[in-house]
Amino acid sequence: MTPAPFPAARMRRLRRTRALREMVQENGLCVRDLIWPVFICEGHKVQQPVASLPGVSRLSIDEMLRAAADAHALGIPAICLFPYTDPAQRTEDCAEAWNPENLTNRAIRALKADLPDLMVMTDIALDPYNANGHDGLVRDGVILNDETVEALVRQGLAQAEAGADILGPSDMMDGRIGALRLALESEGHSDVAILSYAAKFASGFYGPFRDAVGAAGRLVGDKATYQINPANTQEALACVARDLAEGADMVMVKPGMPYLDICRAVKDRFQRPTFAYQVSGEYAMLMAAAENGWLDGEKVMLESLMAFKRAGCDGVLSYFAPRVARALQG
Ligand code: PBG
């Protein structure tokens, strides 16, 4: 509705004090909205800083458990695991991805034993295990779809078996959600949720993540034959529709900030739980500018996350999660 003409309406009346501003605030960011992505590695008492992600380290399982306990105490509801696989276990067939004893599956079990109420999300894709850094199996330079889906199902089942609460397929192969959902149902994991990376774009903003999981130097070519062209809205919406129809419980838009229009369109059209991933490059940009004194880091962190709520997201995956939780606490 249009406000009355000036001076009957003065928009500044409700901006005069903090209490008034907060009374009429339309959206809120809270700790329950956060999923914290964490990089894990082998070893004991290991914290390896990732140069392109200031403030983020790869953590051995023992260190990750301590960090997860802190996050849980702060009220963060879920953690998402990404493994840095030892180079010797990166192969063309990616078999380490479905090894029940791989790093991710050991980490899931340790988390569920220690912190059963903290939701554990995983990544389903082959890139941390692939000799060539791709999310799918590669033959003669071609990313194979259907063979990859079979591998992803084995990977997902192993994670469900280990106790994962939420599976996050980030691979962008066609048909993976339906195949996963069917396998979960038939193997007794009907309560495991799928948060599909449904609208995942072929983005330059994933660079620091690929450093963190050790895929950057290995990646041959790019991911344009499976991730969405950043120019396309309708294709992204079609992917979301398809994944929901195949049995995804929640959907994700990724990256986040450059794709807020997609977040809004997904929420409006499907009215299902919608998440955004504030990816590594978004985090790195803000951190780099803050470290240079060019931006107020705390302020842009909160503002960038509030933007997702305004765009209709139910929650956000963010490397800022523990810091945001502390900031929100007071
Ligand atoms: C790959 C995967 C990627 C991210 C999550 N899962 C990178 C890629 O597609 O190359 C990116 C997350 C980030 O940049 O923070 N399976």
Q: Each residue of 28-46: pLDDT tens digit? A: 999 999 999 999 999 999 9
d(CA 85, CA 105): 12
What the chain holds in terms of domains, given with CATH numbers, is: 31-329 (3.20.20.70)
The whole-number pLDDT of residue 276 equals 98
Rounded to an integer, the average pLDDT of 124-141 is: 96
pLDDT bin (cut points 50, 70, 90) of residue 148 is very high
Rounded to an integer, the average pLDDT of 231-254 is: 98
- Alpha carbon nearest to ligand 1 atom 10, residue: 206
The contacts found for 228-236 with CB under 8 angstroms, 24 or more apart, are 228/172, 228/199, 228/200, 228/201, 228/202, 229/201, 229/202, 230/201, 230/202, 230/203, 230/258, 233/261, 233/262, 233/265, 236/198, 236/199, 236/201, 236/262, 236/265, 236/266
d(CA 40, CA 109): 14
Task: Outline where DSSP puts E strands in 239-314.
Answer: 250-254, 274-278
The residue count for the chain? 330
CA of 6 to the centre of ligand 1 (A): 50
Give the ligand 1 atom nearest the CA of 215: 10
pLDDT in tens, 69-101: 999 999 999 999 999 999 999 999 999 999 999
Say which amino acid occupies 246.
E
The answer, yes or no, to whether residue 330 has pLDDT greater than 90, is no
pLDDT in tens, 162-175: 999 999 999 999 99
Q: Which residues of 130-152 are buried (b: 16+ CB within 10 A; e: fewer)?
A: bebbbbbbbeeeebbbeebbebb
Mutational test site, ligand 1, from 38, 126, 127, max ligand atoms within 8 Å of CB: 127
Note if the pTM is more than 0.75: yes
Rounded to an integer, the average pLDDT of 312-318 is: 98
**Whether 127 contacts 135, CB under 8 Å:** yes
Q: How many CB atoms lie within 10 A of CB 173?
A: 24
Per the listing, tokens 């960090």 go with: 67
The rounded Cα 36 to chain-centroid distance in angstroms is: 8
The whole-number pLDDT of residue 1 equals 82
Q: What is the mean pLDDT of the chain?
A: 97
Rounded to an integer, the average pLDDT of 11-33 is: 98
DSSP 108: H
d(CA 121, CA 163): 10
List the catalytic residues: 200, 254
The answer, yes or no, to whether residue 230 has pLDDT greater than 90, is yes
The whole-number pLDDT of residue 76 equals 98
The whole-number pLDDT of residue 2 equals 85
The whole-number pLDDT of residue 166 equals 98
CA of 206 to the centre of ligand 1 (A): 6
Pocket of ligand 1 (CB under 6 A): 123, 125, 127, 135, 170, 206, 209-210, 223, 279-280
Per the listing, tokens 């106790």 go with: 163
The answer, yes or no, to whether residue 328 has pLDDT greater than 90, is yes
